[in-house]
Copies of this chain bind each other. A is one copy, B any other.
Amino acid sequence: MSGNSFGTLYCVSSFGESHGPAYGGIVDGCPPGLPLSADDLQKELDRRKPGSSRHVTQRRESDKVEILSGVYDGRTTGTAIGFLIRNEDQRSKDYAAIADKFRPGHADYTYWRKYGIRDPRGGGRASARETVVRVAAGAIAKKWLQERYGVVIGGYLAQLGPIAIAFKTWQAVDANPFFAANEEVVKKLEAFMDELRESGDSCGARVTVVAQGVPAGWGEPVYGRLDADIAGAMMSINAVKGVEIGAGFAAIEQKGSEHGDEMTPQGFVGNNNGGVLGGISTGQDVTVSLALKPTSSIRLPRRTIDLRGHPATIETTGRHDPCVGIRATPIAEAMLACVLMDHALRHRAQCGDVALPPR
C-alpha cells in the first residue's frame, strides 16, 4: 500500500496537483448494485468548492466530476470506480515569485528535502485541493452507508479561531458558509473573518464530525481499531494537528467513575467514548473532533530561506483560504465515511454470519 492510497477493502487511490491538468481517483471495493451517478459526487464536491463565499479562496473551480468506470446502467458494478476532475483556474504565474523560496508552515521544504524536486505551483501535490478526491470517494461511502445501514454522517465547525460555536441544529450547517450548526453566531463569524482577511493573517479551527446509526461491532483489535483508522485518516487531512474521539483530551482530567459510560437496558448513559470501545463501535454516535492549524499562506511578511539556504522574506499573495478549517467540514465527513465503510466491509467479511444469542 503506497502513500496515495488508503483503505483495506474500500480502497481509495488519488492523484493530481494544484496546477496540473486534473485530479482524479479510483475507488475500489464498492459493493455492486448501489445506484450512483456523477450527481451524487457533485453534491458533496459543491459543498467544499472554492469561491463559494468571500471567506474562502477566490479560485474559481467548477470541480465538475466525471465518472469513468465502475457504473453501468445507473448502478455500481463492483469493479473499480474511476473519476476525474479537471483543473480550470490555474494561475501559475502567481507562484513564480516563490519558486525558489520555502513558504513557512508549508510542505515546500519537506518535499524538496525528500524528493530533491518539487512542483512549486500552488503547493503541487501538497495542496489542499487534493481533498476533492477524498470528498468524491466519501460521497460514495456516505451513500452506501445510508442506504445499507442507515448511517448518517454530519459535521460542523465547532470553533473558529477564538470563537467557540455551540451546536444548535444540523439544519443550520448547510445554511451558512461556515458549516456552523448555529445561525446566531454567523454574523460574529463574518465580522471576525472580514477583519482577519484585512489583517493579512489567518486562523485555526475545530471541526466536529458525527456518524449516527453505526451498528455495534465495526472495528478490529488491536492495531486495526476503528478509532485508530479514524485518527490516521483525519490526521492525513491537510492542516490537521490533532484528533480526538469522544471526550478526547478532556479525558485526562476525568475520573474513571465519570468517564466510563455506564450501561442500562436502555443503552449507554453518556458517550465519553465517542462510540468506540476497544477499537470496536458500540452502537452509539461515533464522534470525532479535529484541530486545524491556521493557513500557512498569509500576506504578512515572514522570514524564510531560499534554495541556497540564504535568508529571505516571503509574502504569499496568491488566492488562499484565510481559515482552511472552514472548508474542512465536508472533507472530514468524507474521511469518516470512507473509514466506516471500510470497516463495515471488513466486519461483514469476518463476522458476517455471527448470530448473537437472543436476550
Within 8 A of B (CB), among A1-57: 1-9, 11-17, 20-26, 28-33
Query: How far apart sit A75 and B77, CA to CA, in the bound complex (Å)?
Result: 36
Q: Which residues of B contact A2 (CB under 8 A)?
A: 7, 9, 11, 28-29, 80, 220, 224
Chain B residues contacting A305 (CB-CB under 8 Å) are: 263-265
> Could you tell me if B251 and A294 are in contact, using CB atoms closer than 8 angstroms?
yes
The residues of B that contact A272 with a CB separation of less than 8 Å are 293
Q: 0/1 per residue, A210-251, Cβ < 8 Å to B?
A: 000000111111111101111111111010011111111111
Q: Which of B20, B292, B353 contacts A31 (CB 8 A)?
A: B353
**CB <8 Å contact, B204 and A251:** yes
Residue of B nearest to A21 (CB): B68
Inside 8 A of A234's CB, which chain B residues have their CB?
231
What are the residues of chain B within 8 A of A351 when measuring CB–CB? 31-32, 78, 114-116
Interface size bracket, A side: 35 or more
Q: Are A254 and B68 in contact (CB under 8 A)?
A: no
A322, chain B: closest CB distance, angstroms: 8
Most B Cβ at <10 Å: residue of A75, A81, A264, A355? A264
- The residues of B that contact A79 with a CB separation of less than 8 Å are 4, 15, 17, 115, 119, 124-125, 221
Choose one: B204, B247, B283; the contact of A254 (CB below 8 Å). B204
Give me 20 other A-B pairs in contact (C-beta within 8 A), A24-B24, A106-B278, A116-B354 excluded.
A4-B79, A4-B80, A4-B224, A8-B8, A14-B222, A24-B82, A24-B84, A33-B115, A73-B117, A77-B119, A115-B354, A203-B253, A203-B256, A227-B236, A236-B279, A249-B291, A251-B294, A258-B294, A263-B303, A265-B305
Check A277 against B107 for contact (C-beta < 8 Å): yes
- Interface residue A274 (Cβ < 8 Å from any Cβ of B): yes
Q: Which one, B17, B68, B117, B302, contacts A69 given CB within 8 A? A: B17
Could you tell me if A202 and B256 are in contact, using CB atoms closer than 8 angstroms?
yes
A82, B256: Cβ atoms under 8 Å?
Answer: no
- Does chain B have a CB within 8 A of A189? no
Q: CB distance A5 to B28 under 8 Å?
A: yes
Query: Is the beta-carbon distance between B355 and A345 smaller than 8 angstroms?
Result: no
**A109 interfacial contact with B, CB 8 Å:** yes
Minimum C-beta distance from A108 to chain B (A): 8
Query: Bound state CA distance, A257 and B73, in angstroms?
Result: 32
